[in-house]
Amino acid sequence: MNSKTRWLLSLPVRRPVVSNNNQEWLPPPPNCLKLNSGFAAHRNSKSFAFGAAIRDNKGKVIVARSKVLYGAFNVTTRCLLALREALLLAKVYNIQVKIAEVDSIKVAAILNSPMKFLGDISFIVKDIKILFAEVGIDRCLVSSESRNSLAFNLASLALSSSKEYLWLDNSPCFSPCMM
């Protein structure tokens, strides 16, 4: 794990951490990439921030991004929007990812179901399933917040600073940017 990844993991998480026997991030299989997404929000806020990271099986961050999004959404919609932004990141940089990971059992169940989802978030679900196919994701897993701490720390960073952050493997440092 490089120093930038260690620094991101050391940022305080603003939401309570789910207790879990194994607090470590679980890597994807060899020669595969994994996408983690998460969000952070203040109570009763009309905005939230997402964090996304794509890592290899050794934990090396290939690309990461965080940004504040505006709108009063429920937890499920925030989770879906965070994942959609993470998938767009993979698509923009033409990164093939094998696994997506979120912290919502409900979201993973919706996305892994072959059934067509109907409801007020159906357009987001449809977008995500199309993006899954475009970037090579074959399944969405559920992870505890503690195992997904990099994405949550990135989201917390964007939420506390109201800035967008982008980190690329070849960047000299993790810094605010415009995308």
What range does the domain containing 54 cover? 3-10+28-176
Q: What is the CATH number of the domain that holds 154?
A: 3.30.420.10
Its pTM stands at 0.81
- The predicted-structure confidence for 85-122, as pLDDT tens digits, reads as follows 999 999 999 999 999 999 899 999 999 988 877 778 88
Whether residue 154 lies inside any domain: the answer is yes
Whether residue 20 lies inside any domain: the answer is no
Please provide the DSSP assignment of the chain as one string.
--HHHHHHHHSPPSSPPPP-S--SPPPPSTT--EEEEEEE--TT-SEEEEEEEEE-TT--EEEEEEEEEES---HHHHHHHHHHHHHHHHHHTT---SEEEES-HHHHHHHH-SSPP-STTHHHHHHHHHHHHHHT--EEEE--TGGGHHHHHHHHHHHHHT--EEEETT-SS-EE---
Whether residue 94 lies inside any domain: the answer is yes
- When divided into structural domains, the chain yields a total of 1
- The predicted-structure confidence for 34-90, as pLDDT tens digits, reads as follows 999 999 998 878 899 999 999 999 989 999 999 999 998 999 999 999 999 999 999
Whether residue 19 lies inside any domain: the answer is no
Whether residue 22 lies inside any domain: the answer is no
